Copies of this chain bind each other. A is one copy, B any other.
Amino acid sequence: MQKRNAFYAQSGGVTAVINATACGVIETARKHKNKIDKVYAGRNGIIGALTEDLIDTSKESARSIAALKHTPSGAFGSCRYKLKSIEENRAQYERLIDVFKAHNIGYFFYNGGGDSQDTSLKVSQLSKKMGYPIQCIGIPKTVDNDLPITDNCPGFGSVAKYVAVSIKEAAFDVKSMAETSTKVFVMEVMGRHAGWIAAASGLAAENEGDAPHIILFPEIAFDQKLFLKRAKECVDNYGFCVICVSEGARFADGKFLADAGSTDAFGHAQLGGVAPVIANMVKQEHGYKYHWAVADYLQRAARHIASKTDVDHAYAMGKAAVQFALQGKTAIMPTIVRTSNNPYKWKIGSTTLARVANVEKLMPRSYITKDGLGITNRCRTYLAPLIKGEAYPPYKNGLPNYIQLKNMQVPKLLETSFKI
**Given A74-B177, A271-B280, A273-B273; A304-B305 close (CB under 8 Å):** yes
> Which one, A119-127, A191-199, A213-221, A259-267, is touching chain B?
A259-267
Give Cα distance in the complex from A291 to B261, angstroms. 16
Q: In residues 149-185 of chain A, which contact B (Cβ within 8 Å)?
A: 161, 164-166, 168-170, 172-177, 179-182, 185
Q: Is the interface of A mostly helix, strand, loop or mixed?
A: mixed
Q: Mark A254-281, 1 if CB is under 8 A from B, else 0.
A: 0000001111111010111101110110
Indicate with 1 or 0, residue by residue over A80-107, a CB within 8 angstroms of chain B CB atoms.
Answer: 1100000000000000000000000000
Partner of A297, one of B173, B180, B400: B173
| Contact, CB under 8 Å: B79 / A180 | yes
B203 contacts A398, C-beta separation under 8 Å: yes
Flag if A79 contacts B179 (CB, 8 Å).
yes
How many residues from A make CB contacts under 8 Å with B?
Answer: 85
Partner of A384, one of B161, B293, B397: B397
A interface residues with partner B (beta carbon < 8 Å): 10, 13-14, 16, 44, 47, 71-81, 161, 164-166, 168-170, 172-177, 179-182, 185, 187, 203-204, 206, 260-266, 268, 270-273, 275-277, 279-280, 284, 291-298, 300-305, 307, 309, 384, 387-390, 392, 395, 397-400, 402
Could you list 10 A-B pairs, sorted by A, with CB under 8 Å?
Answer: A44-B179, A47-B180, A72-B172, A81-B180, A260-B265, A262-B270, A271-B280, A272-B276, A292-B294, A298-B298
A399, B384: Cα distance in complex, Å: 10
Give bound CA distance, A198 to B284, whole Å: 31
Take A79-B181, A180-B44, A263-B262 as given contacts and tell me if A400 and B169 are in contact as well, using a CB distance cutoff of 8 Å.
yes
Min CB–CB distance A40 → chain B (angstroms): 17
Q: Is the CB of A277 within 8 A of B284?
A: no
